Structure 1
Amino acid sequence: MYTRVVPEQCIACGLCQLKAPELFEYDEDGVAYVKIDNNQGTTPIPAALMAKFKDAYTSCPTGAIVRSPTPFKPSTKAEKPGA
C-alpha cells in the first residue's frame, strides 16, 4: 500500500501525526505530508506501520490522506512537503 497527503485538502488538524507519527509530519505551513518518501507516494508503507496508517487514514476528517495499491505517478505540480 502507498500513501500521500493532498496538501490542498489538509486542514492541519493533527490527527494523522497523532495516530501515526512514524509516517506523518508537518511542513513549515502546518500542512501534513508522508515522511517515508517526502509525500511522493512511491515508497510502500512498512507492514509494521499498517495498523497505525489505517487509523490515521480513517481519522482524517477531510480525506486528505489518499492510498493506492500501486505507487502514485509523479505529481505534475510541485508538492511542498518538508521543504
Structure 2
Amino acid sequence: MHYTKIDRESCIACGLCQLIAPNLYVYDENGIAYTVKDNNAGTTPISEGDFEVFKKAYTNCPTGAILRSNSPFE
C-alpha cells in the first residue's frame, strides 16, 4: 500500500499535481494543494488505478511537496 499527502508549507500552487492526478489532488481557496480523498490526512491508500499518475505527479513536483509513505501518515 502507498499513501500520499501534501506538505502544504512547501506547495507553491503551481498546478502540476492537479493537472497530472486530478483524482488525487485539488486546491483550496488559496491555491494550495491537498489530497482530496482524505482531506490531506494521508490515511487513504492510493488506488492501483491512480498509482501511475501519482508517481508522475510525485516525481515532477518542483518543490517536493507531494509526500509518500508505505503506511498511513500519523
Superposed pair shares fold, TM > 0.5? yes
What is the number of residues matched between the two proteins?
Answer: 73
2:24 corresponding residue in structure 1: 23
2:70 is equivalent to residue 69 of structure 1:
yes
SS at match of 1:50: helix
Q: Percent identity?
A: 60
SS at match of 1:55: helix
2:15 corresponding residue in structure 1: 14
Please state how far the C-alpha of 1:72 moved relative to its aligned partner.
Answer: 0.3
Distance in 2 of aligned mates of 1:49 and 1:65:
14
Distance in 2 of aligned mates of 1:57 and 1:12:
14
Q: Structure 1 length normalisation: TM-score?
A: 0.87
Gaps of 5+ in 2: none
Runs of at least 4 residues of structure 1 off by over 4 A?
none
Gaps of 5+ in 1: 74-83
